[in-house]
Structure 1
Amino acid sequence: MERDCQSLIDIVHSATLAANYLNGKTQTDFKRDRMIQDAIVRRIEIIGEAATRLSQEARDEIDTVPWKQVIGMRNIMIHQYDRVDLQLVWDTATIALPQLARSLQPYV
């Protein structure tokens, strides 16, 4: 269970960092700034990695999170990096990650 707790902390931390990186940025700013893109993609990768470390029991208990999608997004970032859709990354960072952090906050 300690490993699950650390993984959840990692997920919330990375989601929060991604939000901080985009604080005050527009979608246009994001699309023009390769460093911000790379930072957000890296946070999504870390979130997916941490999700893969969660036990099945933890994933079952926290059933409000679409774990397959979280892990799947990581796989896209890692294995298809040269074809990453920036709109998808933006939407993930501005919509999905804040929701993810809020839903996991009670568990950390």
Structure 2
Amino acid sequence: MARDPRALLWDAKASGEAIERFLAGKAFDDYLADEVLRAAVERQFEILGEALSQLDKQAPDVVSSLPGAAKAIAFRNVLIHGYARVDDAIVWQAAAGPLPELLRAIRARLAEKDGEG
């Protein structure tokens, strides 16, 4: 049974917000020095990308309207299937660069849906 597309958006939002919380006040050197932090951030990126991947199967128009969603899905695939060659700098850059914009778009989409009743 397919999940409600709105629930998938909420999952993506929750994972993105977890990444932001985990990295708040941290510098790249802090990230490199903390194996648990790196694992937690990578896991949340995996969940974020999987939620968007599932959403893309059900509502591709929604995913195509989210900036960076396709890259988040591709990034999830790299983390899952290419785990042996994950570059910590790329994970850090993804959290600092595309993630905030993607989260803004997801929040806006959810707020838009809330307004529809």
Structure 1 and Structure 2 fold alike (TM over 0.5): yes
| In 1: Cα distance, 2:66 partner to 2:16 partner | 16
For residues 48 and 21 of structure 1, the distance between their equivalents in structure 2, rounded to whole angstroms, comes to: 17
Q: 2:109 — aligned with what?
A: 107
Alignment TM-score, normalising by the size of structure 2: 0.83
Please say if residues 59 and 67 of structure 1, whose CA atoms lie closer than 8 Å, have aligned partners that are also in contact. Answer: no
Task: Give the drift of 1:56.
Answer: 5.0
Structure with more contact order per residue of length (Cα contacts < 8 Å, sep ≥ 6): 1
% identical aligned pairs: 31
Structure 1, 17-26 or 51-60: larger mean CA deviation: 51-60
Asked whether the 8 Å contact 1:65–1:103 carries over to 2, the reply is yes
Q: Give the match for residue 25 of structure 1.
A: 26
Distance in structure 2 (CA, Å) of the matches to 1:7 and 1:20: 20
Structure 2: distance between partners of 1:52 and 1:12: 14
| 1:58 CA displacement | 3.1
Q: Report the AA paired with residue 72 of structure 2.
A: V
Residue 79 of structure 2: which of 77, 80, 97 is its match? 77
1:67 aligns with 2:69: yes
C-alpha displacement of 1:67: 3.0
Aligned to 2:40: 39
Unpaired segments of 5 or more residues in structure 2?
Answer: 111-117
Distance 1:67 1:59, change over 3 A: farther
List gaps (5 residues or longer) in structure 1. Answer: none
**Offset of 1:66 from its aligned partner?**
3.3
Q: What secondary structure, in the 3-state scheme, does the structure 2 residue paired with 1:54 have? A: helix
TM-score by length of 1: 0.89
| Letter paired with 1:40 | V
**Partner of residue 51, structure 1:** 52
Structure 1 segments, 4+ long, off by >6 Å, are: none
**Residue correspondences, number:** 108
